[in-house]
Amino acid sequence: MFDSAEIGHRIDRATYKAEVPALRAALLDAQYELLRRGTRAVVILINGVDGAGRSETVNTLNAWMDPRHIRTEAFGAMTDEDRRWPEMWRFWQVLPPKGRIGILFGSWYTDPILARVEGRDSRDHFAHRLERIRQFERMLTAEGVVLVKFWFHLSRQAAKARLKALASDPRTAWRIGPQERANLKRYDDFIDASDEALRKTSLGEAPWIVIEGSDEAYRHLTAGRHLLSVLRHAAAPASPVPPQGPLPASVIEAPGDDVTLLKAQDYGRRLTHERYERLLERWQGRLNGLSRDLRLRGRSLVVVFEGMDAAGKGSTIRRLTAAWDARFYRVVPVAAPNENERAQPYLWRFWRYIPPHGRAVIFDRSWYGRVLVERVEGFCAEADWMRAYGEINAYEEELTEAGVIIVKFWLAITPQEQLRRFREREATPHKQFKITPEDWRNRDKWPQYERAVQDMVDRTSTRVAPWHLVASDDKLWSRIEVLRTLCRRIEQALEQGIPAKRRL
């Protein structure tokens, strides 16, 4: 969930200065319109990693809008006094009325995550508290409250570098106490617990917005622009339909910053044919051995391939299946749904192919079509693909708990490489069937697809089923990387046993 918040987003000072005045004016307008209409309350949750600039962002938002109509409250871990009331009581006390904005610095996520990291709460109790939060947020949105859930993120490296910089400067060294050092030590545990919290509470009505925190200009501008889009949405005339939450597209992409997950890949890695052949043999052998591992008899394997047209999904899959006995696996190519499939919930046609224990299925495209092609082409309503992220996370978690090992690959190519391959296909008689006018049309929508991929990874790359983005401009390097990753993921899963098995 944090992948795209670790790629070093940055906005230069000049762009920031040029952008801010218009943004501030627009935010103020939207705030007054919200107040005038009085049909919705807006609650902004500020959460994230220590040092990711949460406090500065709260101050900035208050400075950019009219603070007289904003109530800002800070919440930490629960005290003994807090425990005299039911957990959610303290949040109910500060809910803003319709027309107003509430900023919660620390929120109903803070204590559950800390309690989990500190070992105060069992795994099950943590899950129970997250479920309570989900019900609470569903109820709030049904009652007309618009939730904006910001998560400010720092990579481990960035968090460490920040601590070091602060500690070495006598003017700031006082900010670093034993608590801050302890938090850094627990960084991985904190991210694990946060990943679960975000994964399980990413509702269509109230999605998480993860923002990289290290660059102040990027952070403020991204949060501000996102908030603007939400406020405009919230101030629109009330309808009987509950608000579907903020629009994720376009608004998150701050001007002046065009780093995306896909652009951030290193496309330069290459393999010689000779080295490729040697590595291919090695990893196929290992993959073959794994398919016969006795431990796999109580598990099953689902491999998902997604990628732009001509990214090499088919040829990669063939290198993979070449390592296996035909009785072990099945390849499921996924095209547009047929009539029978359209008469069912969208996950139905994938559920059908879920293998029993001891078997594998490879999906050539998958349920992610919902948030890729169906979103970009407008084949389903925004509300539908927005709720799909949460549904897909729940689906993959359910599979995982039943012993399914899920490995998801995005084969990433550059637009230049795609163009080269398209032209090559057109020029090669036996490849011409692979290129259609639709491929060219899809290519025109590259930026929309890139945006959808970024959101998809942000919202569905979880500890349970992470995305593996593989730079695939060089097919040889890409295939080996896929084989290697697949072997490692299977080995890891077999070693760990079935995760999150709750049966006693």
Among 68, 84, 185, 273, binds a second copy (CB under 8 A): 84
Of 355, 290, 354, 297, nearest to 324 by C-alpha is 290
Q: Is 430 in the site for a second copy (CB under 8 A)?
A: no
Would you say 406 and 498 are in contact if contact means Cβ atoms under 8 Å apart? no
Stretch that binds a second copy, among 89-97, 104-112, 425-433, 468-476 (CB under 8 A): 89-97
Q: Is 345 in the site for a second copy (CB under 8 A)?
A: yes
Among 170, 178, 240, 268, binds a second copy (CB under 8 A): 240
Q: Which tokens hold the place of 491? A: 């080995």
Q: Which tokens hold the place of 287? A: 């993959």
Tokens 């309690």, located at residue: 115
Stretch that binds a second copy, among 221-229, 307-315, 392-400, 487-495 (CB under 8 A): 392-400
Q: Is 338 in the site for a second copy (CB under 8 A)?
A: no
Residues 126-155 that bind a second copy (CB under 8 A): 127-128, 131-132, 135, 139-140, 142-145
Element (H, E) at 41: strand 41-48
Q: Which tokens hold the place of 282? A: 């090695």
Q: Is 237 in the site for a second copy (CB under 8 A)?
A: no
Among 18, 25, 74, 88, binds a second copy (CB under 8 A): 88
Among 391, 420, 485, 494, binds a second copy (CB under 8 A): 391
91 vs 267 by CB, closer to a second copy: 91
CA angle 399, 198, 448 (to 5 degrees): 85
Q: Is 356 in the site for a second copy (CB under 8 A)?
A: yes
Nearest distance from C-beta of residue 390 to a second copy, angstroms: 8
Q: Within 13 Å, how many C-alpha atoms sit on residue 1's CB side?
A: 28
Nearest distance from C-beta of residue 316 to a second copy, angstroms: 26
Q: Identify the three-state secondary structure at position 61.
A: helix
Instruction: Give the chain's length.
Output: 504
Give the chain's radius of gyration (CA, Å). Answer: 24
Q: Is 118 in the site for a second copy (CB under 8 A)?
A: no
Would you say 21 and 78 are in contact if contact means Cβ atoms under 8 Å apart? no
Would you say 311 and 474 are in contact if contact means Cβ atoms under 8 Å apart? no
Would you say 459 and 372 are in contact if contact means Cβ atoms under 8 Å apart? no
Contacts with a second copy, residue ranges (CB under 8 A): 38, 41, 84-89, 92-93, 95, 97-99, 120-122, 124-125, 127-128, 131-132, 135, 139-140, 142-145, 240-241, 340, 343-348, 351-352, 354, 356-358, 381, 383-384, 387, 391, 394, 398-399, 401-402, 404, 502-504
